[in-house]
Structure 1
Amino acid sequence: MTTFLVIVLLILVALVVFSLVRGIIAFLKSTKMDLEREDTGTASEMQLMQNKMMFARIKYQALAVVVVAVLLAIAN
């Protein structure tokens, strides 16, 4: 059981890093696009992607914390 949870934790950590990198890339692209366009008052595609990746990162981090809590509970 511990081995399975460690594997799940590693997968979740990888997903956190992946969503963080994609969010940073979307942020950089949206910043460049925002400088080049007029203010229309709506969110751009890259800004929506940035928000989506931020939410995904938070979900994966929360799941990783739950897995660590279960691992600590099992260890006692």
Structure 2
Amino acid sequence: MTYFLIAVLLVLMGLVAYSLIRGIVAFLKTTKIDLESGEAETVTEMQLLQNKAMFARIKYQALAIVVVAIILAVSR
């Protein structure tokens, strides 16, 4: 059981890193578009992608915390 939970935890950690990188890339694209246009207009599509990626990161982090709590409860 513990080995399975550790594997699930590793997958969740990978998903956290992936969604974090996606959010940062979307942020950088939005900033680049703003700088090139010379105006403070932002692209809503990139903002939505950025928000979606960061919400996914928070969700995966919460799931990882739950798995760690379960591992700690099982190991006692």
Q: Do both proteins adopt the same fold according to a TM-score greater than 0.5, normalized to the shorter chain?
A: yes
The residue aligned with 2:58 is 58
- Tell me how far 1:22 sits from its aligned partner: 0.5
TM-score, normalising length from structure 2? Answer: 0.89
Q: Which runs of 4+ in 1 moved over 4 A?
A: none
Q: Letter of the aligned partner of 1:25 in structure 2?
A: V
Provide the C-alpha distance between the structure 1 equivalents of 2:68 and 2:15, rounded to a whole number of angstroms. Answer: 16
Unaligned residue ranges in structure 2 (runs of 5+)? none
The residue aligned with 1:45 is 45
Instruction: Indicate yes or no: 2:14 matched with 1:14.
Output: yes
- Matched positions, count: 75
Deviations along 1:26-73, one digit per CA (max 9) or x if unpaired, are: 000011112334456x75211110000000000000000000000000
The residue aligned with 1:31 is 31
Provide the C-alpha distance between the structure 1 equivalents of 2:10 and 2:22, rounded to a whole number of angstroms. Answer: 18
Unaligned residue ranges in structure 1 (runs of 5+)? none
Residues 30 and 43, structure 2, Cα contact 8 Å, conserved in 1: no
The residue aligned with 1:2 is 2
Aligned-pair identity in percent equals 67
